[in-house]
């Protein structure tokens, strides 16, 4: 355990498990700093930011909107069916996101005004964020619950849900790498909150 430093809690889990519910609660209830890798990536792809010109140079101006911002839907269409292009995009974005997150953690530790930091990243395990985080927590939900949420709240088709889930880590891999599991399958959100409260106390984040 790192001494005299604000701890970093890594949150991960498959799509539709309800990670945003967990992050919202921890941020509001405990006043923790919440950092989301996806939001950092969006910021770094804005005009003038570190990833913008590299992406435009790699994929052409056809991915830009009228206001010269990157159209993420157009970009997704370009890389979705081409593994090499997706790999190239990831090689641009992922290291930049990690650098941004490390800098934000350093800044928060310098300020010393938050009790702890929560980092959410879909690729927390694959991108080896264990060097940054004190612990990984896995947000779990039953597959049927996830499927229902994605179709109801995101408008995914059954086929799209199947495709997205197929490309994600298996449950046993998440459990193997994480020190605590939050079961967010229940419709009663207080059940999830109770698990978070207990975990933060037992794992000494408070």
User: Could you give the 3-state DSSP secondary structure of residue 9?
Assistant: strand
pLDDT at site 1: 37
With respect to residue 3, please indicate whether it lies within any of the assigned structural domains.
yes
Distance CA 93, CA 50 (A): 9
Inter-CA distances, 70 with 56, 78, 106, Å: 8, 12, 29
Angle at 154 between CA 24 and CA 91, to 5 degrees: 75
Q: Stretch 177-205: mean pLDDT, rounded?
A: 97
The answer on whether 14 is annotated among ligand-binding residues is no
**CATH code for the domain of 137:** 3.40.50.300
> Hey, CA dihedral for 77, 80, 82, 86, is it positive or negative?
positive
The answer on whether 19 is annotated among ligand-binding residues is yes
User: In terms of residues, how long is the chain?
Assistant: 206
Residues 139 and 173 in one domain: yes
Residues 138 and 177 in one domain: yes
Structural domain count of the chain: 2
- pLDDT per position as a tens digit, 53-99: 999 999 999 999 999 999 999 998 998 878 899 999 999 999 999 99
Residues 27 and 121 in one domain: yes
Residues 132 and 187 in one domain: yes
Angle at 180 between CA 179 and CA 183, to 5 degrees: 150
**Cα atoms in the Cβ-side hemisphere of radius 13 Å centred on 56:** 17
- The pTM of this model reads 0.91
The answer on whether 27 is annotated among ligand-binding residues is no
Average pLDDT for the chain: 94
The answer on whether 60 is annotated among ligand-binding residues is no
User: Could you give the 3-state DSSP secondary structure of residue 10?
Assistant: strand
> Which domain range does residue 105 map to?
40-113
User: Could you give the 3-state DSSP secondary structure of residue 22?
Assistant: helix
Q: In the listed set 79, 113, 147, which residue is the last one of a domain according to the structure?
A: 113
The answer on whether 16 is annotated among ligand-binding residues is yes
The answer on whether 62 is annotated among ligand-binding residues is no
């Amino acid at each position: 355990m790192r001494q005299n430093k604000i701890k970093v809690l890594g949150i991960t889990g498959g799509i539709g498990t309800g990670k945003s519910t967990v992050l919202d609660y921890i941020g509001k209830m405990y006043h923790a700093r919440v950092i989301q890798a996806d939001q950092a990536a969006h910021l770094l792809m804005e005009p003038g930011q570190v990833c913008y010109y590299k992406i435009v140079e790699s994929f052409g101006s056809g991915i830009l909107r009228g206001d010269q911002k990157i159209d993420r839907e157009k970009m997704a269409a370009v890389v979705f069916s081409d593994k090499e292009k997706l790999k190239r995009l990831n090689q641009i974005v992922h290291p930049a996101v990690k650098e941004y997150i490390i800098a934000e953690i350093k800044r928060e530790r310098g300020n010393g005004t938050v009790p702890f930091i929560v980092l959410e990243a879909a690729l927390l395990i694959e991108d080896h964020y264990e060097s940054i985080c004190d612990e990984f927590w896995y947000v779990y939900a039953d597959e049927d619950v996830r499927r229902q949420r994605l179709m109801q709240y995101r408008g995914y088709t059954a086929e799209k849900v199947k495709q997205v889930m197929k490309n994600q880590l298996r449950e046993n891999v998440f459990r193997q790498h994480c020190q605590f599991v939050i079961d967010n399958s229940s419709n009663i959100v207080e059940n999830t909150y109770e698990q978070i409260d207990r975990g933060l106390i037992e794992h000494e984040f408070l």
